[in-house]
Amino acid sequence: MEIWSAFGVHRKGTAERWADRILNYSPDQNVRIARMFSEIFSRPPSEVEMELAGQFLDEQRDSYGPELTSTEEDKRPWQDLCHALFNVKEFIFVE
């Protein structure tokens, strides 16, 4: 719980704020994903992780479909990726 509190994960809107910051960091999806891994795990993503994160974003975009506005179309899948990364065992537990 201490790590969660240090990152403010327990607060409402944390994933949304992180996604906003990542979206403003770079227009390149792979650069964004690499930045997220660097920030949350202090390491770059492996090739497999990069591919899986990209697939996850594509699937999330598809799942939202035409209901999204042009702003949401980019933002909501990234928020979902933030939530997914917050729940990775590597982030939750310190070895």
Q: What is the pLDDT of residues 77-94, one digit of tens each?
A: 999 999 899 887 655 555
Supply the pTM of this predicted model.
Answer: 0.78
Q: What is the pLDDT of residues 33-48, one digit of tens each?
A: 999 999 988 899 999 9
CA distances from residue 42 to 18, 32, 74 in whole angstroms, order as listed: 16, 14, 25
The Cα 76–Cα 19 span in angstroms is 8
